[in-house]
Amino acid sequence: MSRRDEIRLTSDEQAAFLREFHKAALATLDKDGFPHVVAMGFLARDGAIYMTSYARAQKVVNIRRHPKVGVMIETGRDYAAFRGVMIRGHCEIIEDPTLVATTIRDIAARQPGRGAPSGASASAPKRVVLKIVPEKVASWDHTKLGGRY
């Protein structure tokens, strides 16, 4: 068995990991083709990753131009504890303010001891939902190595 196979998260482990509260790094491509990476809150549901953003944000401008994105969710303070999921896929921009407000609340509900940021739901008409549909997924759990690296 290869080391990559050894540390890969199973489908159930991936789903459990994505239910935990973590930040995600969203990577888009700017007009010059360079990566534009930002930290985002997210919600994994129905096989997709959901985020919200102001409609005029640079990441949304980038996605409108080129909808292929990357998302990385990772945790761990040192190599032996690294666990993560990297998703490459297409991003759909959803502009329905009701869905935006619901998504804001759902993402906030995942955060321990926090609700939606004050004013976030009120800003829903200016925001969009980013729905990332995975095409390729990679995962890793270095704790499975048991100190062998």
pLDDT by residue (tens digit) across 2-31? 778 789 999 999 999 999 888 999 999 999
Q: Which domains does the chain have, with CATH numbers?
A: 3-145 (2.30.110.10)
Please give the pLDDT value at position 125. 86
Residues of the chain with pLDDT under 70: 1, 112-121, 147-149
- Residue 119, classified by CB atoms within 10 Å of its CB into exposed (0-12), middle (13-18) or buried (19+), is exposed
pTM for this structure? 0.90
Q: How far is CA 86 from CA 17, 36, 129, 135, 136, in A?
A: 12, 16, 20, 11, 8
